[in-house]
């Protein structure tokens, strides 16, 4: 997009033609574009632990023997490492952990009432905890969970000690409600693929 400046020259939004002050004072559109290597993607190479390119998942099941709610707090780092093989574990001194999304399903759709997930994390050393709602759903006919919140607008950083709060409610007895949390881990200072 161009716009006129001063003596009839053109300016690209975000940059004035003629910078630097030596060389041509215009842009030629009749030459092919030059390919540029995106170095920001290079930072992702080798950043992730394990054999799944850093993508990881955490699962938990609420077995409802009666109608009502169950609330559970899970330390994400401890639970994740307990479920991973030796070479895939995340180390808080080496890795960062990012939340991508969470979801819920039920063994009997008609018995499912609702579910909520929250991420509780300390954002800064000595800082107060923040609670981010990352999933909320209620029952509808013939489908167990329809999210009330939009998909996560961005990755959420989950420092060591972060808690995954899961809450589920059964309308009647005899239903298992399955919670899933999907994440990415990489070396400290890196970000999930596509998020840089």
pLDDT tens for the chain, residues 1 to 196: 444 445 555 444 444 444 555 555 566 677 777 776 666 555 556 667 777 788 899 999 999 999 999 999 999 999 999 998 887 789 999 999 999 888 888 898 888 998 999 999 876 667 667 788 888 888 765 455 566 655 655 788 999 999 999 999 999 888 999 999 999 998 888 888 877 5
Nearest alpha-carbon partner for 183 in 82, 65, 59: 59
Q: Which domains does the chain have, with CATH numbers?
A: 56-186 (2.60.120)
pLDDT in tens, 62-80: 999 999 999 999 999 999 9
pLDDT in tens, 102-115: 888 889 888 899 89
Beta strands in 44-189 (DSSP E): 55-64, 68-75, 95-106, 112-122, 129-140, 143-147, 156-157, 163-170, 175-187
Please state the φ and ψ torsions of residue 81, each to the nearest 5 degrees. Answer: -65, -30
Q: Peptide bond before 17: cis, by omega within 30 degrees of 0?
A: no
Helices (H), the chain: 76-83
């Amino acid at each position: 997009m161009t716009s006129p400046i001063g003596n009839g020259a053109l300016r690209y939004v975000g940059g004035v033609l003629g910078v630097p002050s030596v060389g041509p004072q215009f842009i030629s559109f009749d030459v092919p574009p030059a390919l540029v290597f995106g170095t920001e993607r290079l930072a992702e190479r080798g950043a992730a632990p394990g054999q799944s390119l850093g993508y990881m998942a955490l699962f938990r099941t609420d077995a409802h023997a009666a109608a009502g709610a169950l609330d559970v707090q899970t330390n994400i780092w401890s639970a994740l490492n307990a479920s991973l093989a030796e070479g895939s574990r995340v180390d808080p001194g080496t890795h960062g952990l990012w939340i991508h999304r969470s979801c819920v399903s039920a063994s009997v759709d008609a018995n499912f009432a609702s579910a909520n997930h929250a991420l509780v994390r300390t954002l800064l050393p000595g800082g107060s905890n923040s609670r981010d709602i990352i999933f909320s759903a209620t029952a509808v006919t013939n489908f167990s969970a329809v999210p009330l919140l939009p998909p996560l607008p961005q990755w959420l950083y989950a420092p060591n000690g972060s808690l995954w709060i899961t809450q589920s409610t059964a309308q009647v007895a005899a239903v298992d409600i399955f919670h899933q949390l999907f994440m990415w881990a990489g070396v400290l200072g890196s970000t999930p693929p596509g998020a840089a």
